Amino acid sequence: MTIKAYVYDAYGTLFDVHSVSEKAESEFKGYGKTISEQWRKKQVEYFLLHQLTGPYKPFSEVTRNALLYTLRNLSLQSNEDTLHSLMQSYLELEVYEEVRATLETLQNQNKTQIIFSNGNYEMLSPLVKKRELNHLLRVLSVDDVKQYKPAPAAYQYALETLGVKRHEVLFMSSNFWDITGASSFGFKTAWINRADLEIDELGIRPDYIYKDLSGLLE
């Protein structure tokens, strides 16, 4: 079966969301790892709740609100400069070490490659530019349709934009909730299982499981 489009989730798949822990540690000594973990957990919780209950809020606002909650939950005092510094770290996330070489190899095979993310362009575009991936990937955001993944309408938007059939898309994410949504929609899926987790008991199995993105080249 021919795959015509490689579609990548951004956060946790191409970019390490927990690389924010370094900046968090510099702002709140001894709390960097905890802030990173709680911030990400609350970020995901918030956009899922907004999708279920409405109204839609852009990912940058969701991310800031999740940060505010995290700092308050940890009884850490912050000001606007601190918040700006931590939010800025999301525009400078580290890219996983195998990503660039994998994307370049696939580009040389004339594969269509896009990022499809819950992040909005305000967050994604500077990040992709910062990590010098903009010549390898087109950026597509759910912000265009105001429907967060894993809602079917989000994947439908990506499909229409790509102009291919569902089974001609290989969708990749490190987030199993995203794999669940994409698989249910009809995409071929590859779970990038960076944390070596067990498969969730949701009645869904990805078509492929790789420890990192280089598995695409096997």
Give every CB contact of residue 15 below 8 A, 6+ residues apart in sequence.
Answer: 93, 94, 95, 96, 127, 131
User: Average pLDDT in the 145-161 region?
Assistant: 98
How many other C-beta atoms are found inside a 10 Å radius of the C-beta of residue 194? 15
User: Average pLDDT in the 14-24 region?
Assistant: 98
Q: What is the pLDDT of residue 111?
A: 85
User: Average pLDDT in the 165-187 region?
Assistant: 98
Q: Kindly name the residue from 9, 16, 143, 178 that is annotated as catalytic.
A: 9
Q: What is the pLDDT of residue 200?
A: 97
pLDDT above 90: residue 218: no
Mean per-residue pLDDT over the chain, rounded: 97
| CA nearest neighbour of 10 among 181, 108, 125 | 125
Q: What is the pLDDT of residue 179?
A: 98
User: Average pLDDT in the 46-68 region?
Assistant: 97
Q: What is the pLDDT of residue 75?
A: 98
φ/ψ of 8, rounded to 5, equals: -115, 130
pLDDT tens digits, 70-118: 999 999 999 999 999 999 999 999 999 999 999 999 998 888 999 999 9
φ/ψ of 175, rounded to 5, equals: -95, 120
CA dist 100 and 15 (Å) reads: 11
User: Average pLDDT in the 147-167 region?
Assistant: 97
pLDDT tens digits, 130-140: 999 999 999 99
Query: Is residue 9 annotated as part of the catalytic site, yes or no?
Result: yes
Q: Name residue 141's amino acid.
A: S
* Three-state SS at 24: helix
Q: Where are the beta strands (DSSP E) in 15-128?
A: 15-16, 94-95, 112-117
Report pTM: 0.96
Residue whose tokens read 């800031």:
64
User: Average pLDDT in the 173-200 region?
Assistant: 98
CA dist 123 and 177 (Å) reads: 21
pLDDT band at 1 (very low <50, low <70, confident <90, very high): low
